[in-house]
C-alpha cells in the first residue's frame, strides 16, 4: 500500500520535472510480436457446491481485443488424491463437472489432468486449504480520494474494507475477490416525445403506463423497466501479504473503492467479499498478477513480471502453459451499505429510459439476496 | 646577459704549422695547488710565446689541480674541457683560441623565446654557486611542485628538460628529482589545469627548487598536457580537463562532471536522468565516487538531471575504468576521484555563474598568506519559476516546489613547514514538495579532517578522519494517509596513507570505514491512517583494508605498477537472520527459524585479496602497449528493480545471503601518438567477470522488506568490449571520436525455477548497450570565441515486452517475453555551444564569459523508457517516456574575479 502510493507521488513529481523539459509520454508502436500463442487454463475446484468450470483458450496478441479462440475437444479431468477421476464435459471451450454432488473437501488434494490434441498436461496434486473466515466488512466515506475522468479534481469515494482471519501458523495464502450489486431507478413512464413541435407524453411500454384519452398517465401493468440491478466484479488480482500472513489476522484490508455517486448509492449497496485459499503455486501466480497490475503505468516500470502458472506440459517441458487451476476453499461475507454512509446529499439522477438499457449489465431481475 | 654566450666565433680553417703544434707541447710543469684554469693560462702567457683568447665566462668554471702536473698543455686542456661544450683551436703560431659550441645555447634560447611568445611565465633560477661550476658534472635537482590554488603538492606533473631531450614525471605528491649535467637548462613544468612554468635554470651543484604553478588563466590557449599523452597514462585511466568541461555544451547551463564522464569510452548511461553511469558493463552502484577521500552515495540533483557538484570548486577529477590502483577499493567497476579546490595562498579570488536553473559562486583566498587559506562555494536553484511557467492541467503543479543546493567549504592551514591540516566539508540537498502535501528530501553531508606530514624528503603521510551521511526522507501530509519514511546511511572513516618515493614509488596504507545503514522507518502520522508502523533493523558493518602498491620503471621502456589490497568486512549485530526450509526457494512462507544476534555481535565476515597490476611497455617514443588486471570486492549493493537508479533505491550491506560482489577485469590496450602528438589514438579491450551480482526477482517488493533475500537473486555477469578512440589534441580544432562495442550479460541460475531468470540462460543486463559512438569537438574561432559540440549515439537499452494477454477469473494477465529480450529505440543526440570569453588580460579585475548552449539540437524524442499502462480495459499498452523532447537553448553567464 505504501510502496504504490509513494511511488505514485514520486512519479507525479518526476513527471512534473520532465514537463519542464517538454518531455512527454506517448504511445509507443511496438512491432507486433508473432509470439507463439499459448494454452490458457482458467479453472477452479472449491469446497462450495458445484459444478466447477475449467475454461481453455489460446492467448491473444496484446493488441487483439476480440474474444480469445477457445480450445475444444479436450479431455479434462479433475483427479483427487485417491485417484478418483471426474471427467468434465465441454460446451464451447468451457468444461464443466457432471456428477451431481461432486464437491471439493478441505484437506483433500486434487489435480487437473488434460489431453489436448494428443498432448497431456497436468498440475501437481494441491491440497485444499482452509479459507478461514471474513469477520466483517466496513463501508467508509472517504472524501476527495478518487480520480475518475477529471484528473484535476478529486472526488468522494466509499472505501470497502474488511477484517478477516485464517489459521494461525499456517501459510494463509488467500486471494480476495468481490462482487457489488446496487439498485437504481428510472422513470420510463415519464418519457416524452416531440409531436409536431409539441412535447407529448410517451410512456415506454415496459413502464406499464398508458396515457388516457384525457391525457392522464395511468398504470395498467407492473413496471418491468423501472427498477434495475447492476452487479460489478473485481477485475484486480488481490492476495494476502505474505509478510503478515503468518499471524493469520488481516485487519482493515482495503478491498475496493467506489465513487460516492447517486448512481451506485441511490438506495443501498450490496457488497460480497470472498476469501479464497490458494496453494503455494497458485498464490505465486496471483501475487505476480497483482504486482503486474500495480506496476502498470509506472514509468520506472521495468518491474516486469513473468508469470508462471501451475499447469505443466507433460510431454514438452519447454512449452509454457498460462493460467492457473486453483484448489480452493472459499469463505464469504456480504453486507448492505446504506446510502447514508455518504454524509452529504447526492443529486438524484433522473432518467426516463428503460433501466435495462441505461447501463451495461443492468438487469430487472431482483437478485435473491435483495 | 645571455647574449654573451651566443657570441659566435668563426672557426677558420687553417693549416696548423709545425710551430703551432709546438704550442700544444708546452709543459705545464708542476701544478702545486688547485687554481682556476684562467690563472694557469695567464701564467703560461708570461712564460711562453703563447696567447690565449677566451671569454672569462667560458673558462671560469674550469680548474686545474695537482693531478695535471707534468702534462702537456694539449692533454691538460683536453682533460679539463672534456664533457663541456668548450673546445679550443690553434691559430697562427702563437694563439690558442677557445670556442664554445653555440648550438645548445641557441636551442635553449629558442625555447625561451617560444615560451615567451606563448606568454608562458618564465623564471630565472640559479642553483648553487657558479664558483663551484664543474661543467658536465651530473648534479641533482630536487623539489616539490605546488599548485597555486590548493597550495599542496601537485599530482601528475611532467617536467620537460630542454627541448624534448629528457622528459620525466614528478611523483604523485608533486616531488621530483632530476639528475642533469651542471650548466644551463630550460625546464618546463606542466600539470593539468595549471599554466606551464618555464624555468631558465643555471645549476652548478645539487640543490633544491620548489616550483609554484599558477592556475591556468583564460589567457592561454588550451594547454596540451604532454604527460597526459595517452602513451604515458595507465591502462583504463583518464583525467578530465576541467576547462574543457566548461567549454562543452551543457544541459540547462549546468556544467556537469558526471555528464562528461558519460562521454568517456566504455561508459554508458541509461539516459538524461540517470543518477549515475555504467562503466564497462558494471551497474551504477559499482562506481566509487569519492570526494576528498570519502565515498558518496548520491551524486545527483533532481533525480539525476544535474550532478551535485559545483565544478568551480573542483580542483581535480581522475577516472579509472581499468587498472585501478590498490589505494581504491570497495566498488567493482570504476573510480571517480574528485578533489575539491583549496583557497589561493596569495590572493583572494572568486568565480561564479548565473544559469537558468541555478546560480553558483565560489570565493577563496588566504586568511594568512602562505599559511592559512579558505575556500567556500555555494550553488542553489532558484525558487520555482520554471515549474510555475509550465502550463498544465494538473492543478497541483502551482503548489509544488523543487529546490536544491550544494556547497563546499575547505580550510587549509600549515601547522609547521612539514605539516598541513585540511578541513573539508561538502553538503548537498534536494527538497521537493508536491502540492504541499508530499515532501521529498535528499541530503548528503561529507566532512573530513586531513593531516599531511612530510617525514622526510621521501616519505609523506596523510591521516584522514571523515564522516559521511546520506539521508532520504518522504513525508506524506495528507491526513488520511500521513506517514514519514526515513532512510539513512552514516559512515565515519579513518584512513592512513603513506607515500614513499625513490626508485620505487611506494604507496601503502590502512583504510577503515564503519557503516550504519538505517534501511527505513515508516511512521504513520495518524492512528487510523491504515499505514503500518515499520522499523527496519539497522545494519552495521565495518570494512577494513590494507594496501600496498609499487610504481616502478623496470627498464627504460617498461613501467610497472603492482599492488595488493586486502579487505575484510564484518557485519555486526543487532540483527536477525532468517533460516529457510531446505529444498524450497526462499520465500516469506518458507521461513523455518530465525537467529537473533545482539548488538555488536559478529554476524558474518567476508574478505579477500585484491591484486592489481598495470604494465606499460613503450614500443617507441610514440606508441605503447598497456596491460591491466584488477580484482575488486564490493560489500555494499544498491538494490533496484527499475532500469534507471532512483534516489529511493536502497543500499544493502552484505550479509549471510548477499555475498560480496567480486569482479576480475583484464584489459589490454595499444596507444599511439601521431603527427608529433597532435593526434592520440588508442584501442583497448577488456573482459570482466563479476560474481554475486544481484538482480530482482519477478514481482519483488524491495522497499521496507525485512527478508530481501526472498526478493533478490544472485548471479554472475560477464562483460567484454573493445574501445576505439582518436583525439586531436592540439590546434584550433580539437576533438575526440570514440566507438565502443561491448556486451554485458548476466546469468541467474538455480535449481528452483522461480529463482532463475530466463531459465538460467545468459541475458542482456539492463545497461547492455552494444554500440556507443561519441564525437566531441571544440573549434577556437578566435582566442575568445569557441564553438563546441558533441554527438552521442547508443543502442537502446534492453526491455521486456508483453507478448500476449489472457483472462483468468475476470482478471486480465499479460504474458511477458523473457527478461530484456527486446530493446527500446536507439538513442542519439547532438548538442552545440558557443562560448564567448572575456578579454584575456591577466590582471583585470573581472573576467566574464557567456555560454550559449543548445541541448538536443535536432529535438529528437529519445525514449528514456518504455513502460506499459492499463489502457482502461485491463490490457497493457506500451508507452514511451521521453524526458527531453525538444531542443533546449540556454544562456549562461560565468564570471571570475
B536 CB within 8 Å of a chain A CB? no
Chain B residues 230-259 with CB within 8 Å of chain A: none
More confident residue, A10 or B405: B405
Grid coordinates representing A310 are 501451475
More confident residue, A325 or B473: A325
Cβ-based burial of B443 (10 A; exposed 0-12, middle 13-18, buried ≥19): middle
Q: How far apart are CA B118 and CA B140, in angstroms?
A: 29
- pLDDT score recorded for residue A5: 46
Q: Which residues of chain A have pLDDT under 50?
A: 1-7, 302
Q: How far apart are CA A266 and CA A289, in angstroms?
A: 34
Flag whether pLDDT at B273 surpasses 80: no
Would you tell me how many other CB atoms lie within 10 Å of the CB of residue B118?
Answer: 12
In total, chain B counts a number of residues equal to: 897
| CB contact (8 A) between residue B812 and residue A235 | yes
Report phi then psi at B187, rounded to 5. Answer: -105, 135
H-helix or E-strand spanning residue B610: strand B602-620
pLDDT tens for B707-755 read 888 888 999 999 999 999 998 887 888 888 999 999 999 999 988 888 8
Report whether B816 contacts B836 (CB < 8 A): no
Strands B504-524 and B534-535: antiparallel
Report whether A288 contacts B772 (CB < 8 A): no
| CB contact (8 A) between residue A177 and residue B438 | no
Which residues of B fall within a CB distance of 8 Å from A153? 395
B382 CB within 8 Å of a chain A CB? no
Cα–Cα nearest to B222, from B624, B715, B600, B777? B777
Flag whether pLDDT at B897 surpasses 70: yes
B707 CB within 8 Å of a chain A CB? yes
pLDDT tens for B529-560 read 556 677 888 899 999 999 999 988 888 888 89
Would you tell me how many other CB atoms lie within 10 Å of the CB of residue B88?
Answer: 18
Exposure string of B567-580, with b = 16+ CB inside 10 Å and e = fewer, is: bebbbbbebebbeb
Q: How far apart are CA B481 and CA B527, in angstroms?
A: 10
Strands A217-219 and A126-127: unpaired
Chain B residues 298-317 with CB within 8 Å of chain A: 302-303, 305
pLDDT tens for B443-461 read 999 999 999 998 887 888 9
Q: How confident is the model at residue B244 (pLDDT cuts 50, 70, 90)?
A: low
Report whether B709 contacts B702 (CB < 8 A): no
| CB contact (8 A) between residue B438 and residue A173 | no
pLDDT tens for B210-224 read 888 877 643 322 222
B226 min Cα distance to partner chain A (Å): 40
Exposure string of B795-815, with b = 16+ CB inside 10 Å and e = fewer, is: bebbbbbbbbbbbbbebbbbb
Flag whether pLDDT at B14 surpasses 70: no
In total, chain A counts a number of residues equal to: 370
Flag whether pLDDT at B634 surpasses 60: yes
Flag whether pLDDT at B363 surpasses 70: yes
B330 min Cα distance to partner chain A (Å): 28
Report phi then psi at A289, rounded to 5. Answer: -60, -40
More confident residue, A107 or B312: A107
Collapse the DSSP code of B280 into the 3-class scheme (helix H, G, I; strand E, B; otherwise coil) and give the result: coil
Q: Which of A5, A7, A17, A35 to mutate to test the interface with B (most CBs of B within 10 A)?
A: A17
- pLDDT score recorded for residue A39: 92
Q: How confident is the model at residue B646 (pLDDT cuts 50, 70, 90)?
A: low
Instruction: Taking residues B139-153, report their average pLDDT.
Output: 80
Minimum mean pLDDT among B102-116, B347-361, B790-804: which range?
A: B102-116
Q: How confident is the model at residue B229 (pLDDT cuts 50, 70, 90)?
A: very low
Q: Which residues is B177 bridged to in the sheet?
A: B142
Q: Which of B383, B487, B756, B867 to mutate to test the interface with A (most CBs of A within 10 A)?
A: B867
Q: Which residues is B300 bridged to in the sheet?
A: B307
Report whether B568 contacts B544 (CB < 8 A): yes
Grid coordinates representing B349 are 579570488
| CB contact (8 A) between residue B387 and residue A16 | yes
Give the DSSP letter string of B196-227.
-EEEEEEE-SSEE--EEEPBPPTTSPPPP-GG
Q: How far apart are CA A67 and CA B668, in angstroms?
A: 58
- pLDDT score recorded for residue B16: 40
- pLDDT score recorded for residue A358: 79
Instruction: Taking residues B396-420, report their average pLDDT.
Output: 83
Grid coordinates representing B214 are 599558477
Q: How far apart are CA B789 and CA B785, in angstroms?
A: 13
Flag whether pLDDT at B284 surpasses 80: yes
Q: How confident is the model at residue B472 (pLDDT cuts 50, 70, 90)?
A: confident
Flag whether pLDDT at B872 surpasses 70: no
Instruction: Taking residues B677-685, report their average pLDDT.
Output: 86
| CB contact (8 A) between residue B754 and residue A284 | yes
Please give the distance of CA B150 from its chain centroid, rounded to a whole number: 16
Angle (nearest 5°) at CA B40 between B39 and B43? 90
CA-based R_g, chain B, Å: 33
Terminal CA-to-CA distance of chain A, rounded, Å? 33
Minimum mean pLDDT among B227-241, B502-516, B561-575, B766-780: which range?
A: B227-241
Would you tell me how many other CB atoms lie within 10 Å of the CB of residue B771?
Answer: 12
- pLDDT score recorded for residue A274: 94
Flag whether pLDDT at B135 surpasses 50: yes
Cα–Cα nearest to B412, from B364, B480, B456? B364
H-helix or E-strand spanning residue B377: strand B372-381
In the numeric block, the cell 454524509 is attached to A343
Amino acid at each position: 500500500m505504501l510502496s504504490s502510493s509513494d511511488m505514485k507521488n514520486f512519479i507525479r513529481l518526476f513527471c512534473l520535472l520532465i514537463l519542464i523539459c517538454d518531455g512527454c509520454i506517448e504511445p509507443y508502436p511496438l512491432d507486433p510480436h508473432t509470439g507463439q500463442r499459448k494454452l490458457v487454463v482458467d479453472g477452479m475446484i472449491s469446497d462450495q457446491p458445484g459444478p466447477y468450470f475449467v475454461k481453455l483458450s489460446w492467448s491473444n496478441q496484446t493488441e487483439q481485443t476480440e474474444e480469445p479462440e477457445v480450445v475444444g475437444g479436450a479431455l479434462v479431468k479433475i483427479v483427487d488424491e485417491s485417484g478418483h477421476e471426474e471427467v468434465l464435459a465441454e460446451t464451447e471451450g468451457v468444461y464443466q463437472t457432471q456428477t451431481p454432488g461432486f464437491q471439493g473437501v478441505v484437506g483433500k488434494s486434487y489435480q487437473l489432468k488434460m489431453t489436448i490434441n494428443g498432448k497431456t498436461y497436468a498440475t501437481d496434486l494441491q491440497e485444499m486449504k482452509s479459507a478461514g473466515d471474513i469477520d466483517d466488512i466496513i463501508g467508509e466515506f472517504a472524501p476527495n480520494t478518487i480520480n475518475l475522468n477529471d484528473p484535476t479534481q478529486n472526488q468522494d469515494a466509499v472505501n470497502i474494507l474488511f477484517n478477516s482471519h485464517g489459521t494461525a501458523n499456517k501459510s494463509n495464502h488467500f486471494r480476495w475477490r468481490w462482487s457489488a450489486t446496487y439498485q437504481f431507478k428510472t422513470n420510463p413512464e415519464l418519457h416524452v416525445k416531440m409531436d409536431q413541435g409539441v412535447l407529448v407524453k410517451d410512456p415506454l411500454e415496459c413502464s406499464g403506463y398508458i396515457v388516457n384519452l384525457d391525457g392522464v398517465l395511468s398504470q395498467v401493468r407492473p413496471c418491468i423497466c423501472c427498477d434495475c440491478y447492476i452487479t460489478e466484479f473485481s477485475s484486480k488480482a488481490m492476495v494476502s501479504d505474505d509478510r503478515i500472513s503468518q499471524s493469520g489476522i488481516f485487519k482493515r484490508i482495503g478491498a475496493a473503492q467506489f465513487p460516492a455517486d447517486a448512481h451506485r448509492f441511490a438506495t443501498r449497496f450490496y457488497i460480497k467479499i470472498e476469501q479464497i485459499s490458494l496453494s503455494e503455486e497458485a498464490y505465486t501466480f496471483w501475487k505476480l498478477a497483482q504486482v503486474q497490475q500495480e506496476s502498470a503505468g509506472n514509468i520506472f516500470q521495468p518491474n516486469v513480471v513473468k508469470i508462471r502458472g501451475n499447469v505443466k506440459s507433460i510431454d514438452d517441458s519447454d512449452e509454457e502453459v498460462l493460467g492457473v487451476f486453483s484448489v480452493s476453499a472459499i469463505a464469504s461475507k456480504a453486507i448492505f451499505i446504506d446510502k447514508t454512509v455518504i454524509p452529504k446529499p447526492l443529486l438524484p439522477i433522473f432518467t426516463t429510459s428503460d433501466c435495462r438499457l441505461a447501463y451495461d449489465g443492468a438487469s430487472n431481475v431482483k437478485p435473491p439476496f435483495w | 646577459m645571455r647574449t654573451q654566450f651566443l657570441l659566435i666565433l668563426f672557426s677558420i680553417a687553417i693549416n696548423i704549422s709545425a710551430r703551432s703544434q709546438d704550442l700544444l707541447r708546452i709543459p705545464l710543469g708542476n701544478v702545486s695547488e688547485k687554481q682556476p684554469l684562467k690563472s694557469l693560462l695567464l701564467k703560461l702567457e708570461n712564460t711562453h710565446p703563447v696567447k690565449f683568447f677566451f671569454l672569462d665566462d667560458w673558462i671560469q668554471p674550469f680548474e686545474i689541480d695537482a693531478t695535471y702536473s707534468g702534462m702537456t698543455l694539449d692533454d691538460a686542456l683536453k682533460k679539463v674541457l672534456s664533457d663541456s661544450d668548450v673546445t679550443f683551436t690553434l691559430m697562427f703560431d702563437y694563439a690558442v683560441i677557445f670556442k664554445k659550441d653555440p648550438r645548445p645555447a641557441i636551442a635553449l634560447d629558442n625555447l625561451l623565446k617560444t615560451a615567451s611568445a606563448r606568454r608562458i611565465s618564465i623564471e630565472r633560477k640559479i642553483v648553487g654557486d657558479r664558483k663551484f661550476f664543474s661543467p658536465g658534472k651530473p648534479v641533482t635537482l630536487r623539489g616539490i611542485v605546488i599548485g597555486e590554488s590548493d597550495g599542496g603538492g601537485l599530482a601528475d606533473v611532467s617536467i620537460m628538460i630542454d627541448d624534448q631531450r629528457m622528459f620525466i614525471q614528478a611523483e604523485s605528491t608533486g616531488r621530483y628529482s632530476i639528475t642533469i649535467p651542471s650548466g644551463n637548462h630550460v625546464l618546463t613544468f606542466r600539470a593539468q589545469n595549471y599554466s606551464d612554468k618555464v624555468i631558465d635554470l643555471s645549476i652548478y651543484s645539487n640543490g633544491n627548487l620548489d616550483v609554484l604553478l599558477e592556475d591556468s588563466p583564460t589567457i592561454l590557449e588550451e594547454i596540451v598536457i604532454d604527460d597526459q599523452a595517452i602513451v604515458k597514462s595507465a591502462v583504463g585511466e583518464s583525467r578530465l580537463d576541467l576547462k574543457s568541461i566548461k567549454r562543452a555544451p551543457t544541459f540547462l547551463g549546468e556544467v556537469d562532471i558526471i555528464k562528461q564522464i558519460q562521454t568517456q569510452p566504455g561508459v554508458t548511461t541509461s539516459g538524461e536522468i540517470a543518477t549515475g553511469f555504467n562503466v564497462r558493463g558494471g551497474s551504477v552502484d559499482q562506481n566509487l565516487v569519492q570526494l576528498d577521500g570519502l565515498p558518496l552515495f548520491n551524486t545527483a540533483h533532481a533525480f539525476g538531471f544535474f550532478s551535485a557538484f559545483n565544478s568551480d570548486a573542483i580542483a581535480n577529477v581522475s577516472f579509472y575504468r581499468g587498472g585501478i590502483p590498490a589505494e581504491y577499493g570497495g566498488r567493482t567497476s570504476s573510480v571517480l576521484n574528485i578533489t575539491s579546490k583549496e583557497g589561493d595562498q596569495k590572493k583572494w579570488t572568486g568565480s561564479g555563474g548565473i544559469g537558468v536553473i541555478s546560480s553558483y559562486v565560489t570565493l577563496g583566498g588566504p586568511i594568512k598568506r602562505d599559511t592559512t587559506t579558505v575556500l567556500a562555494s555555494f550553488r542553489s536553484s532558484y525558487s520555482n519559476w520554471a515549474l510555475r511557467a509550465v502550463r498544465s492541467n494538473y492543478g497541483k503543479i502551482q503548489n509544488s516546489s523543487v529546490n536544491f543546493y550544494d556547497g563546499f567549504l575547505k580550510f587549509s592551514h600549515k601547522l609547521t613547514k612539514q605539516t598541513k591540516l585540511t578541513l573539508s566539508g561538502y553538503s548537498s540537498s534536494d527538497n521537493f514538495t508536491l502540492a504541499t502535501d508530499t515532501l521529498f528530501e535528499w541530503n548528503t553531508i561529507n566532512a573530513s579532517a586531513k593531516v599531511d606530514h612530510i617525514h622526510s624528503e621521501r616519505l609523506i603521510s596523510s591521516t584522514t578522519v571523515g564522516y559521511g551521511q546520506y539521508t532520504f526522507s518522504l513525508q506524506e501530509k495528507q491526513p488520511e494517509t500521513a506517514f514519514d519514511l526515513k532512510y539513512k546511511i552514516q559512515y565515519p572513516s579513518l584512513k592512513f596513507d603513506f607515500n614513499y618515493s625513490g626508485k620505487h614509488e611506494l604507496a601503502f596504507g590502512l583504510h577503515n570505514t564503519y557503516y550504519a545503514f538505517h534501511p527505513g522507518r515508516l511512521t504513520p502520522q495518524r492512528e487510523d491512517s491504515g499505514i503500518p508502523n515499520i522499523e527496519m533493523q539497522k545494519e552495521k558493518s565495518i570494512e577494513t583494508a590494507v594496501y600496498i602498491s609499487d610504481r616502478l620503471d623496470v627498464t627504460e621502456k617498461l613501467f610497472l605498477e603492482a599492488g595488493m589490497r586486502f579487505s575484510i568486512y564484518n557485519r555486526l549485530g543487532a540483527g536477525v537472520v532468517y533460516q529457510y526450509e531446505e529444498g524450497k526457494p526462499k520465500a516469506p512462507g518458507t521461513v523455518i527459524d530465525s537467529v537473533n544476534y545482539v548488538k555488536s555481535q559478529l554476524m558474518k565476515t567476508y574478505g579477500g585479496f585484491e591484486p592489481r597490476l598495470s604494465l606499460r611497455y613503450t614500443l617507441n617514443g610514440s606508441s605503447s602497449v598497456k596491460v591491466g588486471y584488477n580484482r575488486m570486492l564490493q560489500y555494499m549493493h544498491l538494490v533496484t528493480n527499475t532500469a534507471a537508479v532512483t534516489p529511493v533505491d536502497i543500499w544493502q550491506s552484505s550479509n549471510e545471503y548477499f555475498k560480496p560482489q567480486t569482479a576480475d577485469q583484464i584489459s589490454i590496450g595499444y596507444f599511439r601518438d601521431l603527427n608529433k602528438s597532435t593526434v592520440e589514438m588508442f584501442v583497448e579491450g577488456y573482459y570482466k567477470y563479476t560474481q554475486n551480482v544481484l538482480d530482482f526477482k519477478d514481482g519483488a517488493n524491495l522497499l521496507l522488506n525485512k527478508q530481501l533475500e526472498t526478493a533478490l537473486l544472485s548471479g554472475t555477469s560477464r562483460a567484454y568490449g573493445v574501445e576505439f578512440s582518436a583525439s586531436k589534441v592540439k590546434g584550433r580544432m580539437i576533438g575526440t571520436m570514440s566507438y565502443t562495442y561491448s556486451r554485458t550479460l548476466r546469468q541467474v541460475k538455480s535449481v528452483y525455477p522461480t529463482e532463475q531468470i530466463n531459465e538460467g540462460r545468459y541475458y542482456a543486463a539492463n545497461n547492455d548497450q552494444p554500440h556507443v559512438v561519441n564525437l566531441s569537438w571544440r573549434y577556437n574561432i578566435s582566442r575568445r570565441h569557441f564553438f563546441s559540440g558533441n554527438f552521442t549515439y547508443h543502442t537502446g537499452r534492453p526491455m521486456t515486452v508483453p507478448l500476449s494477454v489472457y483472462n483468468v477469473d475476470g482478471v486480465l494477465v499479460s504474458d511477458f517475453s523473457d527478461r530484456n529480450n527486446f530493446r527500446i529505440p536507439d538513442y542519439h543526440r547532438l548538442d552545440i555551444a558557443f562560448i564567448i570569453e572575456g578579454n584575456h588580460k591577466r590582471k583585470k579585475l573581472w573576467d566574464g564569459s557567456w555560454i550559449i548552449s543548445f541541448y538536443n539540437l535536432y529535438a529528437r524524442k529519445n525514449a528514456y523508457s518504455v513502460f506499459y499502462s492499463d489502457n482502461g480495459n485491463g490490457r497493457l499498452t506500451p508507452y514511451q517516456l521521453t524526458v527531453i523532447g525538444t531542443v533546449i537553448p540556454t544562456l549562461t553567464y560565468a564570471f571570475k574575479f
